[in-house]
Amino acid sequence: PSVSPPASSVILVTGGCGYIGSHCVVQLLEAGHGVVVVDDLSNSTTESIRRAETIAQRAILSFHQVSVCDTNALRRVFELYEFDAIIHFAGLKSVTESVSDPLTYYSGNVGGMVSLMSVMKEFGVFKLVFSSSATVYGHPHYLPIDESHPLAPTNPYGHSKFMCEQVARDVCRSDSRFRVALLRYFNPIGAHSSALIGESPLSTPNNLLPYITQVLVSRLPALRVFGTDWPTHDGTGVRDFVHVVDLASAHLRAVEVLGEEKEENCFTWNIGTGQGYSVMEIVRAAESASRKIVPLVLSPPRPGDCAHVVANPSLANSQLGWFANFGVEEMVRSAWEFQRWNPEVCFERCWFGGSLC
Ligand code: WQD
């Protein structure tokens, strides 16, 4: 791919080698932005960026293997460019892992946010789009969940995302030059239509759809269905799944909106479809897409799980001008196609016995 021409806007993407980050890099390149990626490669490889460049037929400006927690290394990247905005994906994201290792989650996620925003202030970069999560809401008090819903995370991962949001809110209150968009993701799934990038953890996935697709390629024996007696239409958990490509486009819209003159300087938007689907509906969609059967093991509910989590996305629709385009069939089909064509590719690096797998 050709090297990007000097672009009017240069965007720094932290965690740009990851699942959502790489899909965002594709759209930033396709929109003509200059893109710089920092990633510590603790849970990804640069293969996803190479593939993102192939999809967009444009190259990023540069990649730096840097942790956002390494403030000095981050400074050295900020010295190279005049960034128009920062999109901050880098962080740890496993609820289960956060329960057993909260200190790593607070130092990585909250420490990383403080380090990044400090360097932004030092270099006069004030536009930030942050990858937050519906986990900050905890168990729903009402449905669908809007941005005014009480914030009551139930695990260290959710607490760390809440604290990152609070850092941003307090910084915006203290310094009106900042412009921040907090995007609360519901359940991102799916893959780019090229099947070149997608969600493909090498270690056993925690989330539903990557687990199902690994069962479909026989990397896992069966899907455990966590709870079949929930108060839902079919007894299985209901979630608000959103296509990763739709999710990525919300970040580009957020960068644009942050460039507009507004009264406020800190915005919070739910990124979901407002439509819930059950575990069994996702299973059926995967069986239809793959023309295979997903073996099931009906199991007790997972600790901390709840029956329904569905977004009210009307604020993102009206203020961000963002709407989900893809339905559940395309979300599941694209995830299956990615898994099918990349049965062994691992973008998420993990270590077995000390050797890189
Ligand atoms: C979805 C549904 C499970 C796996 C989590 C994080 C959240 C966000 C998205 C980062 C539930 C059921 C799952 C399986 C199953 N991540 N399930 N068998 O728990 O809604 O949200 O991921 O921001 O922070 O909490 O997503 O995909 O784990 O579960 O039955 O093997 O599928 O019980 O009903 P969840 P999930």
Asked whether 122 and 75 are in contact (CB, 8 A), the reply is yes
Pocket flag, ligand 1, residue 226 (CB < 6 Å): yes
Pocket flag, ligand 1, residue 83 (CB < 6 Å): no
The 10s digit of each residue's pLDDT in 161-188 is 999 999 999 999 999 999 999 999 999 9
Q: How far apart are CA 290 and CA 316, in angstroms?
A: 33
The 10s digit of each residue's pLDDT in 231-252 is 999 999 999 999 999 999 999 9
pTM of the predicted model as reported, rounded to 2 decimal places:
0.94
CA of 95 to the centre of ligand 1 (A): 9
Q: How far apart are CA 68 and CA 74, in angstroms?
A: 6
Best probe residue, ligand 1, of 161, 187, 203, 281 (max atoms within 8 Å of C-beta): 187
The 10s digit of each residue's pLDDT in 21-73 is 999 999 999 999 999 999 999 988 999 999 999 999 999 999 999 999 999 99
Pocket flag, ligand 1, residue 207 (CB < 6 Å): yes
Pocket flag, ligand 1, residue 224 (CB < 6 Å): yes
What pLDDT score was predicted for residue 67?
98
Q: How far apart are CA 173 and CA 264, in angstroms?
A: 10
Best probe residue, ligand 1, of 19, 206, 208 (max atoms within 8 Å of C-beta): 208
Pocket flag, ligand 1, residue 78 (CB < 6 Å): no
Pocket flag, ligand 1, residue 43 (CB < 6 Å): no
Query: Which residues are registered as beta bridge partners of 129?
Result: 87, 181
Q: CA nearest 113: which of 149, 76, 159? A: 159
What pLDDT score was predicted for residue 159?
98
Span 335-352, average pLDDT = 70
Best probe residue, ligand 1, of 131, 207, 214, 224 (max atoms within 8 Å of C-beta): 207
Q: CA nearest 60: which of 89, 17, 90, 91? A: 17
> Which amino acid residue places its CA nearest to atom 26 of ligand 1?
207
Span 93-115, average pLDDT = 96
Q: Which ipTM did the prediction report?
A: 0.97
Query: Which residues are registered as beta bridge partners of 127?
Result: 179
Q: Which atom of ligand 1 is nearest to the CA of 157?
A: 24
Cite the active site residues: 157
Residue 355 has pLDDT above 50, yes or no: no
Pocket flag, ligand 1, residue 185 (CB < 6 Å): yes
What pLDDT score was predicted for residue 43?
86
What pLDDT score was predicted for residue 203?
76
Q: How far apart are CA 84 and CA 11, in angstroms?
A: 6
> Which amino acid residue places its CA nearest to atom 18 of ligand 1?
225
What pLDDT score was predicted for residue 4?
55
